[in-house]
Amino acid sequence: MKYVLIGAGSRGTIYGSWAHQHNIEIAAIAEIRPDRLEFAAKEWNVPSERCFTDPDDLFALGKIADAAIIATMDQDHFGHVMKALDCGYDILLEKPISPNPKECIAIEKKANALGKKITVCHVLRYTNFFSKLREILRSGELGKIVAIKHAENIGNFHMAHSFVRGNWRNDQLSSPIIMQKSCHDLDILLWLTDSHCTRVAAFGSLSYFKEENAPAGSSDRCCNCAAADSCRFNAYSAYGPILGQWPADVVCLEQTPEALDRALKTGPYGRCVYRCDNNVCDHMSMILEFENGITATFSLHAQSTNIHRDIHIMCEDGEIWADDAKREIIISRFIGSEAEDVVTRTIKVQTNDSGHGGGDSGIMEDFTASLTSNCAESRSSISRSVESHLMACAIEKARLTGKVIELNAFRKSLT
């Protein structure tokens, strides 16, 4: 088995390393940054004649592997996927498919017309946690789902790293946060409800990470900031103690105090969180309606200590509370008319240590197996994944216009 990799950044490295550890050859790499390209080539023994800084040079070789992994940035996916399909590759594609809904549909159409498999990295579908939740709901033990309260708690430091200083800070450079961060959540809601979304309403803004909240005396970089010692977003105290771990490993390739210091003096991650070119929301509240009558509220917010998702599912005959960070699902079944007339049990879900609660290795196992068998459509096939992306676009439209958006009409407006 052989893969080619386009984009050897954080995500590409996770998938490339998984492949290498499972005796899958990385036949070629395209990565625009020479330092990353060299690092990846060395890690996975890729010969220099198969290492490119321009993906077009890789595509010019035609189909030289069983599949292509595309892990470049959001707005580059479309161009890279279309060329990979032309070469004849099946593809593992990082989410978002594209921030542009018309491009999402065009990719789906082309892949289906060519009979090529695209698995979108909706990694949560491959976690034991969400799989268990779905199994409980589908067992019928609590009757049908009636309503859902879902929250994505980004974590205030994660927000500062990824969505204020980092790659996804500005929707013109990547995608709106509802697409970038939460196409996962919308996809999970579709998977759990086993339905289609009919209408959405949304509210939200960038409230906190802006200049008016900067501490007195602060400056545009932590390295020369008089307020750094008392600032909780001081980049030196945030990244210094965790060298070698995420997200310090995103800041610089070489994980030494000297390399970190250089990166914080000149790179994006040493900037003041109150003075970046960020524009994505740091909180959003949404209302969703599904075809089978289920209603859901969804809150996406930066203002939390920890990074976790929690979901409360109200069913006809009971309710479920689940938290992915605690790896815990609490199920209460109603058995009488009194508040105490419930039977409650708690499930502790086992997960492995790979990223996203086991989802990163889960998707690689599934994708790799799908290439060698005539197995059914993947859990996160392109056709299953486009809907969450259209939902994200409709939600952003609802937020910007203040209107309720109907998904059918929204989809029609794209053709």
Ligand X SMILES: NC(=O)c1ccc[n+]([C@@H]2O[C@H](COP(=O)([O-])OP(=O)(O)OC[C@H]3O[C@@H](n4cnc5c(N)ncnc54)[C@H](O)[C@@H]3O)[C@@H](O)[C@H]2O)c1
Instruction: Give contact residues for ligand X (rule: CB under 6 A).
Output: 6-12, 30-33, 36, 55, 71-74, 76, 94-95, 121, 123, 167, 180, 356
Give the shortest CB-96-to-ligand X separation in angstroms: 6
**Rounded least distance, CB 137 to ligand X, Å:** 23
Q: In this complex, which beta carbon is closest to ligand X, that of residue 175 or of residue 218?
A: 175
CB of 380 to ligand X, least distance (A): 10
Q: Which is nearer to ligand X, 117 or 199 (CB)?
A: 117
Looking at beta carbons only, is 169 or 199 nearer to ligand X?
169
CB of 184 to ligand X, least distance (A): 6
Measured from the CB atom, is 56 or 141 closer to ligand X?
56
Report the residue number, 39 or 334, with the smaller CB distance to ligand X: 39
The distance of closest approach from Cβ of residue 317 to ligand X in the complex, given in angstroms and rounded to an integer, is: 34
Q: How far is the CB of 7 from ligand X (least distance, A)?
A: 3
CB 187 within 8 A of CB 122: yes
State the minimum distance, in angstroms, from the CB of residue 279 to ligand X.
17
Residue nearest ligand X (C-beta atom)? 9
- Of the two residues 90 and 185, which places its CB atom closer to ligand X in the complex? 185
Using CA atoms, how far apart are residues 42 and 231, in angstroms rounded to an integer?
39
Minimum CB–partner distance for residue 32 and ligand X (Å): 4
Judged by beta carbon, residue 73 or residue 223, the one nearer ligand X is 73
Residue 116 vs 181, nearer CB to ligand X: 181
R_g of the chain, CA atoms, integer Å? 22
Count of Cβ atoms closer than 10 Å to residue 194 Cβ: 14
Contacts 24+ apart (CB under 8 A), 262-271: 264/221, 264/222, 264/223, 264/235, 264/236, 264/239, 265/221, 265/223, 268/165, 268/166, 269/161, 269/165, 269/166, 269/235, 269/239, 270/221, 270/222, 270/223, 270/235, 271/165, 271/220, 271/221, 271/222, 271/235
Whichever of 74 and 310 has its CB closer to ligand X, that residue is 74
Cβ at position 174, least distance to ligand X in Å: 7
CB of 235 to ligand X, least distance (A): 18
Nearer to ligand X, 188 or 294 (CB): 188
Question: What's the CA dihedral at 226, 227, 228, 230 to 10 degrees?
Answer: 140
